[in-house]
Structure 1
């Protein structure tokens, strides 16, 4: 199945890797393609006790196709940015089917916008589910356009070639001999008392020690 999956979507992923999206966008597309985006329907399949109904419209099952394209709020977003005709959903479509078709119907810029807005719509869904913060269509546009600006800057700096700004910013450098390196990241949720922190430790040969 893994080989079959890779063969069927090879052209799609060639486009994704060639465009060098920010990691958060590529990660979203990959999780959608593997069916592991934690929507309500996906969580129910994992025996998580949760309502299957969309938390926005309260009418339909919350799967990835609904949340990104079919929900009333998602349709409003696609209409406002002028891409509703590019991301039409047919019966039995998957999210990847919609995006693959959009890559042939629209221009490259429209397809890029589509992928970035998918990430922003998912971001809005999570802010509502976890923090009860209602991000408007304007807020969704702001998040997506900031991603677009970063993406275009990276492409300009790199001349459209692979290994650009995002690659340069995320290269891990090993510590001096005899030392270990601890990389730390953290996040704070606005409006709540929750803070998350994580770290990973590696030695001077890049070998994992502890996380």
Structure 2
């Protein structure tokens, strides 16, 4: 790494509220690991985001320095799309907020949540939405890929129950997508994988399933 590159990283760290991890850092090997242990890729740096603002900064940094970007939610993609060689790994696994509105039967979910995180929050209200069957799967990857689970025969795919999403686009812009706003983007998100932007918040429809 040249001094100029190090200076750029130091400048990035000043404004970034999460953790920036480099190959020489103690936790680098731990953080770059994903579910598929056969994948052994080494990003130039890892940005562990704690907010939408962090995600925007990371995207802008990657654009300025022409870096390949990989996005990690739950890190469960079998092909290892959550990690890259020599680029920027944007790690969302610290963003785990789930907010439930039991009256409206809706939940807003951050992209670092696993299915276990989501289920635990909504089940406290006797509610659920169609999700996968592996509790360690990330909500983001499951949703953007379609999402099929135990409740799908009654309530459809996970994406059928996505009401809206907040997205950071490739140019660092923050947009809201729903059937009424940025409808083309919303259509693409529902099954298009992680190709259209970084979703920072998902809003889901919930259904009563009882306490058990």
Band the TM-score falls in, shorter-chain normalisation:
under 0.3
Higher helix share: 1
Identify which of structures 1 and 2 has the higher relative contact order when contacts are C-alpha pairs closer than 8 Å and 6+ apart: 2
Query: Higher Cα Rg: structure 1 or 2?
Result: 1
Q: Given the two structures, how large is their TM-score scaled by the length of structure 2?
A: 0.27
